Amino acid sequence: MAEDEFEELYEDAPCGYLTTRLDGTIVRANRTLLALTGYPREELVGRSRVQDLLPIGDRIFYETHFAPLLTMQATVREIAVDLKCADGSRLPVLLNAVMKERTPSRPELVRICVFAATDRREYERELLRARQRAERSETEARELARTLQRSFIPPVLPRVPGMDVAGLYRPAGQGDEVGGDFYDMHEIVDGWALAIGDVCGKGVEAAVVTSLARYALRAAPIRESSPAAILTTLNQVLLDEKAGRFLTAAYAQISPGTQNRFRLTLSLGGHPSPVHISRDGLGRIGHPGTLLGILKRVKLTDVEVELLPQDVVVFYTDGVVEARGHGEMFGEERMQDVLMAARRGDAASIAARLMDEILRFQSDVPSDDIAMVVLKIED
């Protein structure tokens, strides 16, 4: 290749070229660099240093990092800085530099390749903005999840004379997704109603069904009197609304008697039977029923039991026994052992003890939502 062709390749290369002394003084610049920055050659060559073309922040970086690295390694690659252009604007660039050793005919020189990086820098900024938007969206989603979930769990359970009541809820994982577990307890004409349920799945669709179920169970007693009839109504509501999700639910009516005795009437729609701890030991209440929201006809049964002083009843969702840790499930046997050991405490301490054991079993990261309501009859 002829000398004039080499010169043309240098001057009109697709990137800018600078040759400087060790102190940064520019001794040569190609036409591409001049076109990128808008400076005339005579303003740069022999009169300006590379650091003079940098904003203050990049100049400090050049003097404290770029130049020392170049001295130690004789090469520096892909350093992102801005160049101050002749018109006052700033040009994002990437710098690659190599240091040429001194020879008898010339001093040590630094050769710098300057790549315009306007599009790349904008892409990086857009990535940063997208990440910030995603982080904000994630934060907002978590807050929305917490707000929705709070609407499914009453902040305070009602005061029932002669009965100690406590409820606990713990969402799966980090709690940043709306779950389908819910519980509720409120006063009715001749006592109190208690409902607990678990909607299949998570997310917004599950939240819609959870909300629908919770309020349907509150409205149904206006027309229906028995727990089985109320769950049947809920099943019809889910089918009529084409909810697209099934759920399990337990619904109980609690009526006060004399001398701190209560009558509990219960129906189960595919839900785990509550645990009943009495002076006779540990047992279960209820007959298994049909899942709700799938079939037009469901088989549901009312079961009635008398609760005596010091009796404990524990309603729970399947996140209790199906909690996974150490390659196995928490299981009913562990749950029963915990409840028997904790039964002499009040309702809140029983619920807390069971929740603590489940979380410890899963290293404090539950694999599923956990909901429970504990009733304890006072002396």
Return d(Cα 232, Cα 243) in angstroms, integer: 15
Global confidence as pTM: 0.65
Closest among 143, 140, 145, 248 to 203, alpha carbons compared: 145
Token representation of residue 88? 């006052």
Please tell me the predicted confidence (pLDDT) of residue 289. 94
Q: Mean pLDDT per 10-residue run, the chain (379 residues)?
A: 76 92 92 94 93 91 88 88 93 90 72 87 74 73 65 85 94 72 90 93 77 87 90 92 87 92 96 95 94 93 96 96 89 95 96 95 88 95
Residue type, 364: D
Neighbours of 352 (CB within 10 A): 16
Return d(Cα 217, Cα 194) in angstroms, integer: 10
Domains and CATH numbers, the chain: 3-116 (3.30.450.20), 144-377 (3.60.40.10)
Please tell me the predicted confidence (pLDDT) of residue 138. 66
pLDDT 10s digits, 91-133: 999 999 998 876 665 668 999 999 988 877 777 777 778 777 7
Return d(Cα 114, Cα 15) in angstroms, integer: 6
Strand order in the sheet with 262-269: 181-188, 191-199, 247-256, 262-269, 303-307
DSSP 8-state secondary structure symbol assigned to residue 102 = P
Q: By the 8 A CB rule, do 36 and 16 touch?
A: yes
Beta bridge partners of 165: 375
Coil, strand or helix at 153: coil
Beta strand residue intervals within 75-162, DSSP E: 75-84, 90-100, 109-116
